[in-house]
Amino acid sequence: MNSIKKNLINKLDFFIFGWIINLAYPLYFRPKYNYTTYRKLFFYYFIPQKILRINGSVKWPVHFTSTVTGAHNIKKGIICDPGDNLGNYIQANNGISFGSNVELGPGTKIISSNHELENFSKQKKCDSIIIGDNVWIGANCVILPEVQIGSNVVIGAGSIVSKNIPSNSIAVGNPCKVIKHKEPYTEDFSKLKLNKRIPKEYLDFINQSNS
């Protein structure tokens, strides 16, 4: 009986609020049910973001305590919404590429450009930050310009990432260093029912989790 009631509440939640969220956020791809409620997205994300215009130009949910600048320079996959956690700061002036299934802990900062040492009013041009698939970045981490983080990586909380981190690794510290090999990521995304149709370019990511 409880499962029937829960299922009914989920469907009602999607019917009332889900279509608004899907329309407002064209780059939002998450499990249709049992990820977070659409009413929570409506009140804690949609209203501050789309009505009060806090991070209003971003095409995915960003928490009102977080800041995303240069969103037009961000490329991201599915199951990935940079800035949706508490107190994130994402500065994408030189570009940031996020893969699919990337999660940022609260308080994490990702900074794609520094100021010129001889003139603080100018920002240095440099290569984009690149983050692969299936990456968890713990709370209060800092990712610095030009860093590349591979796929299947965990970055420990409080780390300062100033150098590249290879795939299939767990890394921690200041400066952040690899401490051990990480076993393959095993979540089967092909079994997930997402909130909207998946673009063709992400089908390989979805299907490879079942291979």
Q: What is the pLDDT of residue 124?
A: 86
Predicted local distance difference test score (pLDDT) of residue 186:
93
The span from the CA of 51 to the CA of 36, in Å, is 21
Q: Using 50, 70 and 90 to split pLDDT, how confident is the model at 210?
A: low
* pLDDT tens-place string over residues 167-188: 999 999 999 999 999 999 999 9
Q: So what's the pLDDT on residue 117?
A: 83
Percent of the chain surpassing pLDDT 70: 98
Whether the predicted pLDDT of 211 surpasses 60: no
Question: For position 209, what pLDDT does the model report?
Answer: 61
For residues 186 and 37, what is the distance between their CA atoms, to the nearest angstrom? 25
pLDDT given for residue 54 in this prediction: 97
Range 13-25 average pLDDT: 95
95: left (phi over 0), alpha (psi -120 to 50) or beta: left
Q: What is the pLDDT of residue 97?
A: 98
SS3 8: helix
CA-based radius of gyration for the chain? 18
pTM for the model stands at 0.93
Q: What is the DSSP string of 85-98?
A: STT-EEE-TT-EEE
* Domains of the chain, first to last: 60-208 (2.160.10.10)
Residue whose pair of structure tokens reads 């990432």 in the numeric block = 161
Sign of torsion over alpha carbons 203, 205, 206, 209: positive
> Residue 61 and residue 41: Cα distance in Å, rounded?
8
Positions marked catalytic: 115
